[in-house]
Amino acid sequence: MTGFHWQHAAQDGAARAGVLHTAHGTVPTPTFMPVGTAGTVKAMTADAVRETGAGIVLGNTYHLMLRPGAERVAALGGLHRFMDWPGPILTDSGGFQVMSLGALRTLDADGVTFRSHLDGSKHRLTPERAVELQHLLDSTITMVLDECTPFPATHDQAQASMALSMRWAARCRAAFQARDGYALFGIVQGGVFPDLRAQSAAALTGIGFDGYAIGGLAVGEGQAEMFTTLDAVVPHLPASHPRYLMGVGTPDDLLGGVQRGVDMFDCVMPTRAGRTGRAYTSRGVLNMRNACHAADDGPIDPACDCPACTKHSRAYLHHLFRASEMLGPMLLTWHNLTYYQSLMRGMRAAIVEGRLAAHASELRAAWRP
């Protein structure tokens, strides 16, 4: 098989291991995509991101359309060349960011009008324009424009929001220019209501997409309700296509998502945590600003092979953060992304070996404070 596709490799319960084949290379799944919102993973060079083991990164249409502009990126050779990332890039349509603007945006049946958070300039985003912008960026995986249903929402509110997103999804499908190895993903909405999630999944599979994302979660509903919603929606998605849980999350969130059959994840959490002094480790979360690390000559995580762990001590990282040195966020971001990639590799191996349940128990026991 050629072109964009997901190849199944192993199954352990609902969890799957596989390989994503794209125009810009292959990616083993389950996979975590570092977030490069404005064409860069914050505090990291592209080489550093590659060294963490990441095979695919995420960019954001909203931020890139405002600065430097999708047309300019296209004129400069596309986002892959612009940010020195020849591998696959998935771009969020910008819908979530636009919907987060509140009073700065006006939604209608055709699209959304909004004012830039940068300078107040007025912009218009429709399903067709969102697809066009991502084409200009040369996104490997284009996401449909949707309305991220807020939480909490009533059933009627969630239904109206979902129905709008499904109409927009059909328009995105019609506007998408199919190219070998490129993909368009639909986004399942419907809040925390199983019937609406099932309706949304049916609508999207009826339209036909190259992959299916689950949106509108990790927006305040809590992990238990997120997992319950995943249990309800994943069985409605085609087993032959990749499944992507958007904007999630903590290591335990990723583990729970994989156990429920999700293949792809993204979240700002590891990079944001790295910039604020929080380290994700095989033994749980550490705050490198805490005084207990001031004289500790040991590594952040003995099991990690990133530069922060192999070349520096906890005491040094503590010093960097206390002194507000920019190297601290750089090293800790590198560490967190390395840990997330290591976590995904471990889960892939456990699925192949048929021991994910035992592996999950071991991970969770080690994370407990």
**Which residues are the active-site residues?**
92, 266
Task: Write the burial class of residue 287 (CB in 10 Å: 0-12 exposed, 13-18 middle, 19+ buried).
Answer: middle
Please tell me what DSSP assigns to residue 236. Answer: G
CA gap 56, 68 in Å, rounded: 22
Strand partners, 226: none
Closest among 174, 207, 179 to 187, alpha carbons compared: 207
The answer to whether residues 242 and 29 touch, using CB atoms and an 8 Å cutoff, is yes
The answer to whether residues 337 and 364 touch, using CB atoms and an 8 Å cutoff, is no
The answer to whether residues 340 and 56 touch, using CB atoms and an 8 Å cutoff, is no
CA gap 81, 53 in Å, rounded: 20
Task: Write the burial class of residue 346 (CB in 10 Å: 0-12 exposed, 13-18 middle, 19+ buried).
Answer: middle
Measured CA to CA in angstroms, residue 278 lies from 115, 189, 314 at distances of 33, 32, 12
Kind of pairing, strands 15-22 and 5-12? antiparallel
